[in-house]
Amino acid sequence: MSERVIPLVDQRLRALPALLPSHAIAANGLLSDGLGRPLHDLRISVTDKCNFRCNYCMPKEVFNKDYAYLPHSDLLSFEEITRLARVFVAHGVQKIRLTGGEPLLRKNLEILVAQLAELRTPEGLPLDLTLTTNGSLLARKAHILKDAGLNRVTVSLDGLDDAVFRQMNDVDFPVASVLEGIEAAKAAGLGLDAQGRWSGLKINMVVKRSTNVDQILPMARHFRGSGMTLRFIEYMDVGATNGWCMDEVLPSADVIRHIQQEFALVPLEPNSTGETAQRWGYANAHGEFDPNLGEVGVISSVTQAFCSDCNRARLSTEGKLYLCLFASQGWDLRELMRDKQGSDADLASAIGHIWQGRTDRYSELRALLPAEQQAAQGRRVEMSYIGG
């Protein structure tokens, strides 16, 4: 048996300077990239640390006790994050998702949430303010985050069987504690959209063929009719440390077939342009979608690329802008803001210039390659550094 080899590399890729274009680019909410895609969503990583060691994201072989995380002085302050977010919102961003690492490890995160909750779109509307978490600290933080202005949470949960879940998180963390956090989030009302309408919590399960396929149906049974949406994510080739190979990917079509062994499903229309998940609703006895039973989603970034309407940008915890989850380079906004003391107008021009030049469509291009070449596409930024 061949041994698994993981390159011991720094997850933080060299960033390009955020240059000012020769002509200023005003933030008027009409920004689009080189393929006509608007800037709608911003994902902000608030820490590069996590208390889990999931092997598809932060394998223990690399992220061990000797791994050098970013010093606190390198991290964007809450005020710097809010300032950048305000510029992004002026460019058209309507949704902000806080990520990590594990974002709840960032001390006093509710202060940042409160600052972001004060932002308004050019039309005067509040943002859709969300957070993705592994749920380990959610039971103690849910009400505090809701009171600060957080709308919704997405919780990562890769199985209900305790042994499988402990194997996936690789720190022997019990599934019961995550379920407790999910219930606390639901009780706190962390399932509302920006207009205060209930849209439900989202539960994300990464499916890895050799590890947790047998958890698909138990997860579907558990969350069916719960008011929460369970989403299954194909195991992705993010970064350079997770040992990805196509053999470990269970296509989303197979996930749906697993669920249909027990439950009837009907396809649903997307909620919005650029939505990552394909929606399926549980059907009633007449074969029609029953909202009381809820829905599931599948995120097929490996087998069914959705690059064509991707409207997401990602901001690292140290202020680097990435335009794709599979990016190989970023742009340093912190330098422009902190070292060069750029104005908000400068930041808007730099961000506008970067986005207008965007042509990223990694997953579409990868899909054109033979299977044996798909795992060797060069170095990419780590998901734990810019969030999923």
Q: 């959610």: which residue's tokens?
A: 138
pLDDT in tens, 229-259: 999 999 876 655 555 678 888 999 999 999 9
Whether pLDDT at 305 is above 90:
no
Q: 């794709």: which residue's tokens?
A: 324
Who's near 50: CB < 8 A, 6+ residues apart?
57, 58, 63, 100, 101, 102, 105, 134, 384
Whether pLDDT at 325 is above 90:
no
pLDDT in tens, 72-117: 999 999 999 999 999 999 999 999 999 999 999 999 999 999 999 9
- The whole-number pLDDT of residue 365 equals 75
pLDDT in tens, 287-299: 999 999 999 999 9
Q: How far apart are CA 78 and CA 89, in angstroms?
A: 16
Whether pLDDT at 349 is above 70:
yes
Share of the chain above pLDDT 90, in %: 72
Q: Which of 137-146, 173-182, 194-203, 251-260 has the lowest mean pLDDT?
A: 194-203
Mean pLDDT for all residues in the chain? 89
User: Where does residue 51 rank: exposed (0-12), middle (13-18), buried (19+ CB within 10 A)?
Assistant: middle
Beta bridge partners of 315: 44, 321
- Region of residue 275 (left: phi > 0; alpha: psi -120 to 50; beta: else): beta
- What pLDDT band is residue 24 in, cutting at 50, 70 and 90? very high
Arithmetic mean of pLDDT, 355-373: 74
- The whole-number pLDDT of residue 370 equals 62
Q: How far apart are CA 312 and CA 297, in angstroms?
A: 19
The H or E element containing residue 75 is none
Type of residue at 18: A
Are 264 and 282 in contact, with CB atoms under 8 Å apart? yes
Whether pLDDT at 388 is above 90:
no
Beta bridge partners of 234: 207
Domains within the chain, CATH numbers bracketed: 15-386 (3.20.20.70)
Q: When comparing pLDDT for 376 and 77, which is higher?
A: 77
Q: How far apart are CA 172 and CA 165, in angstroms?
A: 8
How crowded is the C-beta side of 338, counted as CA atoms within 13 Å?
15
Type of residue at 83: R
Q: How far apart are CA 338 and CA 76, in angstroms?
A: 9
